[in-house]
Structure 1
C-alpha cells in the first residue's frame, strides 16, 4: 500500500504538501510543475485515498470478470493541463474517472484541449470515450461521429442520442437564492464568468449566471450593478482567485453594495474574501459570501465558507458506469443528474432548521 510519505520522498516535497495537493487545496502556493509531478507520481504508484480504498472494498469483485471490464478509454478534457490543475473540481472529476477505471483495470489515454480536434484514430482505437466539460455543437457532433461508446461528464450536450452525467447547477442556484431570500438578504450580488465555447463568448450563458438573472427579474430585483463577470479561461494562470478578487472590488465600489455575494465557484470566493477584508469589512456582519463546489479548503477559511457541494468524483464515476451499461447492450440513452447539497457555514446567515440540525 503506497503512502503519502513515499510519494513525498519520490517528488522531494513534504508529506503535508502532498496531502494538500491530493486534497485539491487551491490555496497551496506551489508551482504547476510540482503539483503535476505529485499527481503523476501518485497515479504511477497507484496511490488511493482511504476513502477510495474503502469504496473499492465495498465493490468486492468488480473488475474481476471480463463482463465488468472496459476496453481502452480515451479521456477528452475541455481544459489544458495547467488549467485543470488550478481547478480542484475538475481534478475531482478526472480522479473519479481514473479511480473507477483502476477498479476495472482499464487503460486510459488522456487528450487535453487544443485548437485542433484529436486524431480520429485515437478515439476509434480507444472504443470508449469520456468527454469532460463544455463543448460546442460542432465539437459534440465530431466526437459523436468518431466514438463507438461516448459519454459526456459535467456537460449536457442537449442531444437525445448521447449519454451524459452532470449536476443541475441552474436549479441549485435558484434553490440557493430562495434560501438567501428567506434569510432576509435583499441585495444579492453575483460574481461569475463568461460562457466560452469554441472561441465564442456568451456573456450570460453560464447556467448559474442565467438562473441568477432570471430569478432576480422574476422578483423584480434585478440590478445590473450587482452582476459582474470575468474571463477565467486564460491558460497557464490560476486566474479564478485573482478574478474573484478584482470582481469583488467592483461590487464593493458600487453606490449601494450588496449585502451578500454569490460566487460561481469557491476559488472566486477566496479572492472575494481578500477584497472584502482589505476594504475593512467583516464577513458575514457587513457582507456575506456563498459559493459553489465545497472544495476542501472552504471549511478552513475564516470564517468557513457556505457553499453548494458538487460531487465531482461522483460525476466521473457515473460516467464510467454509463459506458459499462452501453457495452453491456443498453439500447437507449441516459442523462444522469448528480444532486448537489448546500453546506451552510459561518460566512452567511444559516436557515433556522439547518442550525437546529447542526446543534443536535
Structure 2
C-alpha cells in the first residue's frame, strides 16, 4: 500500500508537504500546480487516508484515525513565528512515523459556525483556545491535547514548558556575568475565543516571561520599568521596539527579549545605529529556533524543544485513544544555550 513517503518521492516534495496538502491545510504556501500534482500522485498510487503500519506495536489504535488540528493563531501569526511552525513539524513527523496524518487542519480565525468540526476521534490544539470555544465548534472533547497551554481545571492532556523557571535562568545568567540594568522586549500572550456571532476574538492574558521579569527585577531591586517595551511576537515588532528604545536615549546593560524572531529584528535596529552587541548591549532571547545560531550576532537563547512538544502531543493523544482516562500534563524541559550575544563563553 502506498505511503506518504512514496507520494513525496514521486511528486518531488517533502513528506511534511504531502501530509499538509492531503489534510487540506490552506496555510501551506505551495502553488496550485504542486498541490494538484500531489493529489494526483496520491490518487494514482491508490493512497488511503490514515492507514499504515505503526512503529509502536505496543500501542493499539484503530486502523482509521480521524485526527483534527486546531491552530489558535491566524495564518499570518503562525507564518511569522517559527515557534509554532516547529511544533507543527513535530506533530507531522510523529503522525507520519505512526502511519497517520491530520485529517483536518483549521485556523480558529477562519472558522465559521457551519464548519464545525465533526466526526473526529481526537483534537490537537496548538495555542490558547478557551474550552467554551472548543465546545461550540466540536463534539470531540473526550480526546483532546493542548500544546503550549494548560486548562484551568486540568481536565485535558497538555504539553507545556515552565516559562517562569526558564526566564529566571536567563536573567540570573545576565546578572552573574556583571550586567546591572536590565530591559525587556516582548509580545502579548492571547487566549482565543469563538463567539456566538460566528467571529473570533482574543483576550490579552498573562505572559509569564513578562511577569517573571517584573518580579525578578523587584526582588533584585533593579529599576527596569522604563526599559519594558511590548508589541507583538514577530521580527518586525522586535526591530521597531528596539528602535524606540534607542530613541529614548538611555539603554540598559542588557535586554531579555521574549522570542528569537524579535531578537533578530532588534539586532538589525542596533546595527543601523552602530550599537555593538555584546560590547555596548547584551541580549538573551527565547525559543531556540535554528535561525538564532545564524543571526548577525549568534543569540544566547532559552532553548525550547518545540518539535518534541509536538511529538509528545501526538503520543498523548494516541495513548488517550487507546483507553487512558486520567489527564496528563507533560512539562518539557528547557535549557539555556550561551552564544556571543550575551558576552560570555559559548556552551553549544
Calculate the TM-score normalised by the size of structure 1. 0.76
| C-alpha separation in 2, matches of 1:136 and 1:34 | 22
Please, which moves more after superposition, 135-144 or 205-214?
Answer: 135-144
Q: What is the 5 A alignment of 1:91-110?
A: 91-108=85-102, 109-110=104-105
| C-alpha separation in 2, matches of 1:119 and 1:311 | 36
| C-alpha separation in 2, matches of 1:180 and 1:44 | 49
| C-alpha separation in 2, matches of 1:175 and 1:141 | 38
| C-alpha separation in 1, matches of 2:290 and 2:252 | 27
Q: Which residue of 2 aligns with 1:254?
A: 248
2:276 is the counterpart of 1:282: yes
2:55 is the counterpart of 1:62: yes
TM-superposed deviation, 1:146: 4.0
For the 8 Å contact 1:225–1:251, the answer to whether it is kept is no
| C-alpha separation in 1, matches of 2:133 and 2:282 | 40
| C-alpha separation in 2, matches of 1:71 and 1:120 | 20
Q: What is the 5 A alignment of 1:141-180?
A: 142=136, 146-180=140-174
2:114 is the counterpart of 1:113: no
Q: What is the 5 A alignment of 1:1-360?
A: 36-37=29-30, 62=55, 67-68=60-61, 71-108=65-102, 109-114=104-109, 116=111, 122=117, 124-136=118-130, 138-139=132-133, 142=136, 146-198=140-192, 199-202=201-204, 205-232=206-233, 240-350=234-344
TM-superposed deviation, 1:331: 2.2
TM-superposed deviation, 1:86: 2.3
| C-alpha separation in 1, matches of 2:334 and 2:113 | 32
Tell me, which stretches of 5 or more residues in structure 1 are unaligned? 12-17, 23-32, 46-59, 233-239
| C-alpha separation in 2, matches of 1:311 and 1:341 | 9
Tell me, which stretches of 5 or more residues in structure 2 are unaligned? 18-25, 40-52, 193-200
Distance 1:89 1:68, change over 3 A: same
Aligned-residue Cα RMSD (Å) equals 3.4
| C-alpha separation in 2, matches of 1:173 and 1:66 | 36
C-alpha distance after superposition, 1:83-120 (max 9, x if no partner): 32222121111111111111222241101121656657
Distance 1:145 1:160, change over 3 A: farther
Calculate the TM-score normalised by the size of structure 2. 0.78
For the 8 Å contact 1:63–1:103, the answer to whether it is kept is no
C-alpha distance after superposition, 1:134-159 (max 9, x if no partner): 12353255578642311101112232
| C-alpha separation in 1, matches of 2:121 and 2:113 | 14
TM-superposed deviation, 1:65: 7.8
Please, which moves more after superposition, 221-230 or 246-255?
Answer: 246-255
| C-alpha separation in 2, matches of 1:161 and 1:305 | 37
TM-superposed deviation, 1:194: 2.2
Distance 1:305 1:349, change over 3 A: same
TM-superposed deviation, 1:254: 3.2
TM-superposed deviation, 1:339: 0.7
Q: What SS class does the counterpart of residue 281 from structure 1 fall into?
A: coil
**Higher helix fraction: Structure 1 or Structure 2?**
1
For the 8 Å contact 2:54–2:98, the answer to whether it is kept is no
